[in-house]
Structure 1
């Protein structure tokens, strides 16, 4: 006898009214009761019609979106969850499955686009949800979940978390993500409260919301814990917090232990959880009382679930297999699959595991060919199929953070065209472009049995990276004219020309000064203003030994010390050293390799110092052109990276792309604030270019070169000390630091430097609440003011110069680079971020130089035509 499946509604969605006047949802300071929510859900269900239809929802953390979600579940309409915000991924799913109704939130209201009155699909009675697997957003492969699975998983989570009606959960994850969805489901199933928000945990407003709404829990993925550390979570007073849950990837055991112990001290629990979309969200949890002692474990099965360890041919480890009522019906890859019933009875997780003596399960590896990149699971087989569809024979290997593919190419083919193909692959699998590495090979490396040699393929990237490092060209010129021609990409350089008059600026002076130091030895303080002919004579003089400077004249011991000192150490300009050290410290602090705040503000003073050196010489017209050129050299490479980040991630907005987040973005520190330094610097440079273009203002600056920056310094202090209380977005007033650096550059006398020192000592120590940060800024500024050079080991001169030259480029790129590596090694993440910044600097500088040469040729062409 065949038993027909019975259509079942999802109980918690259909029974909301049973909790009466209890608060179901808090959003924007308003409370929505369960009765009111039930009424809204019923109205939305009526709008969906009585005919069972496929509904696609662009889910977000809003009340209208939640209402449509619950309406579909309660009325038995299968719901296809689309990514938050729509975009190409949503469009591809809509095109593949052709839903009958498309729902989205516009203008604060739910909008239902009925694409047909009935349905064109054969929908299995048990089908309730269609959800993208982890990392396959936009792929036609979906997980088919039954109503019973959704209900069972919500009940199991509520049981082991011991949820109660008094609990209130903040939505730190999107509703479109199965983990975020499970938070909503489990809380609504027991009559608890969901606090809807899109705020990040680094936003102080989020913690204000936690306190105001008495939030008892929030959900976290591994990256969230890095944000918590940046937000100072460990020192927060959160009396209502009862527990934190963690899933979405492996959390480092040391961090598990640290947060479990922190929770014990603070009175809340840490629940480490393990799950997959194919199990409706959760399969295991680690009881909080054993988390500190067994931080490497995923724990025990959830209530109603079971694990078994299955043998894997050819491996000593065993695969973790899960069974329970929350296991998916199966996958869907086409609309025809929507009428299928259960095709899966137990879930082969693809993870290799073991069971400890304490009965806890631990994951020891992966069986399947997947890697995790920025939290997304990428199928290496899919990468190979994409390349095959592009007509390429390839084999892909990978580690968490990157994919490396060997692509067969014809003999002699350069492989440079693979860059565009790598971009296509990255877009198809939904990961950042730098995570995909394609290498041309004559033949795919293979083992003796004919199978691809994946370790050898992985090694292609390592050997390529190694071969790409090294010194500069052996035939680089070492005369002043040759160095200037090489760095500035110019040809006609006369004796009277100076570095500044030739268009040199703060972005090119590092490369020039490092090479000039090798050619000339110690450089004069104002070398950038000295004529080429004078520097050439200094080079000639440096090649002639000075008998009066013979160290032996001062005694053999002192001569030996001086000899070894000169051999090991050589001076470098303080500004160069500060830029190199600052970018290393800034990136290391962001990645949490170590914490050393304040170096970005030191760079603001260095920027002011360099502005005075390179932007304030020559006639007004030339000055303005030089200032605009420098601004372009900052804006173009920065916007290129930010625009790319905006295109491939959901972490930024148009305000970031146009460098206006400090003006148009949300108040306080958020993820959108990451490029604050570039934005503030560009705003300052634009403002000063406009100000100094006014003839009277320009004359005033030339007449009072020290008083002018000090006047700007004083004006900005009125805002900093709130003598004039104006709304100031972003990081708060920082022009005064730029102006201090400017004043340092034009302080020519001991009295002037002493006065500027006094101003710095009076104002910098109170700039921030953190005394160490203030001390860092003060020390950096005083070094810039008083020390023209710093001794640096000769072996580090080249890398110091490279880091200084590429500091801006590393700053803007590292936000995209380090998430690919920091789960493997934070030190590696720092190193790769710096290397990518140097590479981007080399490429972008060449491109901008070429563009400038083309523009110069374009301007000169009419003149040449007239001469004919």
Structure 2
């Protein structure tokens, strides 16, 4: 690698250099700049937000860490850093903690979208040319960073705009994260040109992505090789995308047959297919294949981008004539690498980029990559450091050696503790690599050269020739990941579920949580505590080695919230039927509802998505309740119109009558509607994200004003229990022992005296304390299913038991209770089947994103 002496360190200039396109956003005026959920910002509005955020960062050049999904907060903070002369450090969420510990950033973008300025006085000496730091090896490589200058970022964006012919009328819908340099360049180029960027984390395998793409008039689509596998699966070739102008591909070698096929498809459909080649060290891209040449030369990466040039230099690994190492020169070549904070003060240490790729020039003058010098391969867009992988996977009694090529990882394991299946699972789960791209084989001893070094070509041949270690399959031959995907699709009514989907992403909620978790335990044996926010692919890789848990466990653990729902509904019905007296179950359910509201409705999704999911959650409670009560009114005339409309709590009689049977449903709907309206306010939404624990604590304090009648809420019997809902919400956000302890003390002080019934108050305190301190509770395996059904059907049991137990009390209260529970479970099952049937008959693809599910009425 060509190296020059580092520039001497010196004082930071008074007027730091900036990236021009980030500084000049306002020049595009009222053109649409960003679409993100319900937010639509013009360039003028985007520039104002960037200026505001830059002001929050304060004076002095700061190191600003940004991680997360494609959301407006990440974009604004990144642009603010570039526009104000700070240094942006973009990393994947999984690496944020390690990078923050290693580099001690001055400011950090928090998950809620707020910027936490940790050092008002900059803690680092930052070179005047430094603008951006990017990881160089994806999720599997070493933690070193590429140091990119203001000129690197601007020049590469200008070059890409030029050769792609990006227009100010273009709209790019994001398919790649911003912390990936290819995804970032899509954002940079469109903002430089004054085009629009539609931010989303939806996968191209999700029907909702294509709904969004069409609705926003998407003109550009970008993908890595794995993206095109997904496009084939969703029938991209048959889609009507009238505004699509071009499709780009980078992030690794795409098989020539794909290149030719997509080039031909684009020619028929009226859009261009552009293959590109790049590395993080060159800011984004170094070469492109003109679309008119793709069909005839699909194995090449084309010509240098405007302003860049290639040289092929001799390399000892190259044996074929004309083949050598590809070296790139251009204004987008990085300053150099950083391995520690001290390196951030360095100037240029690299003048040319030695790519590590072996290449040749075709007779037409096109660059063709034929191999790789270094120990790296690219898989699914990730640059995999093979040496790092060997170190990470090897351990006592296990020696792991890795080789391969782009798109294929070959792994040999040896030693007394060698388990190829376990190694394969760890690679897929820990590093997120697709299982189909990984081959693992057990070998007695890795082959070596005469000098004692590993003979990697021979190793690759040995692994390739060995029987492939397949992922676990069930008796029908389905792979575990696909089996779990089908399970999610069935139980959540989401045929659009992909291996990258999570339970929360698919609109899962508290009652479907029970059913899905139990089915997952049946499939995997055990599931992690955070399974509901873990992608299906990682769940499949992280399951118990035996794969299935049926019949193997005498004691099963049930999530505490689910156990409390089952126990509470039995207490409610048993007390009403006179079998026993144990009050307080409904009030425990109010706290559980708050707990689940925080877990399943207040996710990291954008505000519009959150609000949509909250509306769906309200409908799943209100609609079945209104239908049931309306049917009862028609058949028995037992209740009135206010009950059907769930308005008795607001307009009904103040004295307790049978009209108050459904107070629990009404208060829950009231609370959820008020919370949805509150969180629809952008500033409130930002506060909740910024202070996830203190926000519900403040609401708890407000609710206690009603509990102690300091404030008259004007609604008898119902709204004073809001403090229990807020308590459950705070319990879900309590991540530290002292927070849980503090809430326990508040619980112990505020519940006594509210009901005037000591036994009832003890039951409520005990139930909510369990929610605070225990993640799950053990149950004998035979009762596991019963608990699951009772928890899942609790709303339906509550609705229907009023019409069941009075008719059987005279025979025996136990019979009345059993019949009430059975009837509620039966109605729940029938409602689920009916909803699935309606969804299957009438829903358009992706409609489930708006809330269709197999089990309505979830709390």
1:97-246 → structure 2 map (5 Å cutoff): 97-106=103-112, 109-114=113-118, 116-136=119-139, 139-246=142-249
Q: Which residue of 1 aligns with 2:330?
A: 324
- SS of the aligned residue for 1:237 comes to coil
Instruction: Note the C-alpha offset of 1:581.
Output: 6.4
What is the CA–CA distance in structure 2 between the aligned matches of 1:634 and 1:63, rounded to whole Å?
Answer: 34
**Are 1:341 and 2:343 matched, yes or no?**
no
C-alpha offsets along residues 761-790 of structure 1, whole Å, 9 cap, x if unaligned? Answer: xxxxxxxxxxxxxxxxxxxxxxxxxxxxxx
C-alpha offsets along residues 599-642 of structure 1, whole Å, 9 cap, x if unaligned? Answer: x99xx9xxxxxxxxxxxxxxxxxxxxxxx999978733347478
Q: Which residue of 2 aligns with 1:674?
A: none
- SS of the aligned residue for 2:333 comes to coil
1:11-26 → structure 2 map (5 Å cutoff): 11-26=20-35
Instruction: Note the C-alpha offset of 1:321.
Output: 1.1
**Are 1:720 and 2:724 matched, yes or no?**
no
| TM-score under structure 2 length normalisation | 0.56
Deviates more, 1:254-263 or 1:331-340: 254-263
Q: Which residue of 1 aligns with 2:367?
A: 361
1:46-65 → structure 2 map (5 Å cutoff): 46-65=55-74
RMSD: 5.3
Q: Which residue of 2 aligns with 1:290?
A: 293
C-alpha offsets along residues 818-853 of structure 1, whole Å, 9 cap, x if unaligned? Answer: xxxxxxxxxxxxxxxxxxxxxxxxxxxxxxxxxxxx
Q: Which residue of 2 aligns with 1:275?
A: 278
Instruction: Note the C-alpha offset of 1:202.
Output: 2.6
Q: Is the 8 A contact 2:65 2:91 kept in 1?
A: yes
| TM-score under structure 1 length normalisation | 0.55
Pair 342,731 (structure 1): closer, same or farther in 2 beyond 3 Å: same
Q: Is the 8 A contact 2:412 2:443 kept in 1?
A: no
C-alpha offsets along residues 162-212 of structure 1, whole Å, 9 cap, x if unaligned? Answer: 112111111121111111110110011111111122222233322222222
1:357-436 → structure 2 map (5 Å cutoff): 357-386=363-392, 395-398=401-404, 400-405=407-412, 413=416, 415=418
Q: Is the 8 A contact 1:133 1:143 kept in 2?
A: yes
Instruction: Note the C-alpha offset of 1:111.
Output: 2.9
Which residue, 439, 445, 448 being the options, matches 1:446? Answer: 448
What is the CA–CA distance in structure 2 between the aligned matches of 1:27 and 1:265, rounded to whole Å?
Answer: 32
Q: Is the 8 A contact 1:92 1:138 kept in 2?
A: no
What is the CA–CA distance in structure 2 between the aligned matches of 1:714 and 1:60, rounded to whole Å?
Answer: 36
**Are 1:636 and 2:643 matched, yes or no?**
no
- SS of the aligned residue for 1:189 comes to helix
- SS of the aligned residue for 2:114 comes to strand
C-alpha offsets along residues 428-487 of structure 1, whole Å, 9 cap, x if unaligned? Answer: 867589988888878653222332222444466567747999xxxxxxxxxxxxxxxxxx
**Are 1:91 and 2:97 matched, yes or no?**
yes
C-alpha offsets along residues 574-593 of structure 1, whole Å, 9 cap, x if unaligned? Answer: xxxxx9667499979x9xxx
Q: Which residue of 1 aligns with 2:47?
A: 38
What is the CA–CA distance in structure 2 between the aligned matches of 1:730 and 1:195, rounded to whole Å?
Answer: 19
Pair 100,390 (structure 1): closer, same or farther in 2 beyond 3 Å: farther
What is the CA–CA distance in structure 1 between the aligned matches of 2:468 and 2:140, rounded to whole Å?
Answer: 34
Q: Is the 8 A contact 1:172 1:218 kept in 2?
A: yes
Runs of 5+ consecutive residues of structure 2 not aligned to the other structure = 494-513, 544-558, 563-595, 604-608, 613-783, 798-813, 820-825
Which residue, 264, 267, 270 being the options, matches 2:267? Answer: 264
Larger Rg: 1
What is the CA–CA distance in structure 1 between the aligned matches of 2:389 and 2:67, rounded to whole Å?
Answer: 27
Instruction: Note the C-alpha offset of 1:126.
Output: 0.6
What is the count of residue pairs matched by the alignment? Answer: 568
Pair 714,37 (structure 1): closer, same or farther in 2 beyond 3 Å: closer
Instruction: Note the C-alpha offset of 1:125.
Output: 0.7
- SS of the aligned residue for 1:64 comes to helix
Instruction: Note the C-alpha offset of 1:140.
Output: 2.5
What is the CA–CA distance in structure 2 between the aligned matches of 1:646 and 1:361, rounded to whole Å?
Answer: 46
What is the CA–CA distance in structure 1 between the aligned matches of 2:792 and 2:82, rounded to whole Å?
Answer: 59
C-alpha offsets along residues 496-529 of structure 1, whole Å, 9 cap, x if unaligned? Answer: xxxxxxxxxxx9xxxxxxxxxxxxxxxxxxxxxx
Pair 101,138 (structure 1): closer, same or farther in 2 beyond 3 Å: farther
What is the CA–CA distance in structure 2 between the aligned matches of 1:38 and 1:260, rounded to whole Å?
Answer: 38
What is the CA–CA distance in structure 2 between the aligned matches of 1:15 and 1:467, rounded to whole Å?
Answer: 54
Instruction: Note the C-alpha offset of 1:364.
Output: 1.2
**Are 1:308 and 2:295 matched, yes or no?**
no
Q: Is the 8 A contact 1:132 1:143 kept in 2?
A: yes
What is the CA–CA distance in structure 1 between the aligned matches of 2:147 and 2:840, rounded to whole Å?
Answer: 62
Q: Is the 8 A contact 1:96 1:140 kept in 2?
A: no
Q: Which residue of 1 aligns with 2:250?
A: 247
What is the CA–CA distance in structure 2 between the aligned matches of 1:178 and 1:262, rounded to whole Å?
Answer: 27
Pair 587,303 (structure 1): closer, same or farther in 2 beyond 3 Å: same
What is the CA–CA distance in structure 1 between the aligned matches of 2:839 and 2:535, rounded to whole Å?
Answer: 37
Instruction: Note the C-alpha offset of 1:387.
Output: 6.6
Q: Which residue of 2 aligns with 1:819?
A: none
What is the CA–CA distance in structure 1 between the aligned matches of 2:66 and 2:791, rounded to whole Å?
Answer: 49
**Are 1:70 and 2:79 matched, yes or no?**
yes
Q: Is the 8 A contact 1:131 1:277 kept in 2?
A: yes
Instruction: Note the C-alpha offset of 1:152.
Output: 0.4
Instruction: Note the C-alpha offset of 1:358.
Output: 1.6
Q: Is the 8 A contact 1:279 1:347 kept in 2?
A: yes
Pair 94,364 (structure 1): closer, same or farther in 2 beyond 3 Å: same
What is the CA–CA distance in structure 1 between the aligned matches of 2:56 and 2:127, rounded to whole Å?
Answer: 22
What is the CA–CA distance in structure 1 between the aligned matches of 2:848 and 2:76, rounded to whole Å?
Answer: 38
Which residue, 17, 31, 36 being the options, matches 1:8? Answer: 17
Instruction: Note the C-alpha offset of 1:370.
Output: 1.6
Instruction: Note the C-alpha offset of 1:698.
Output: 12
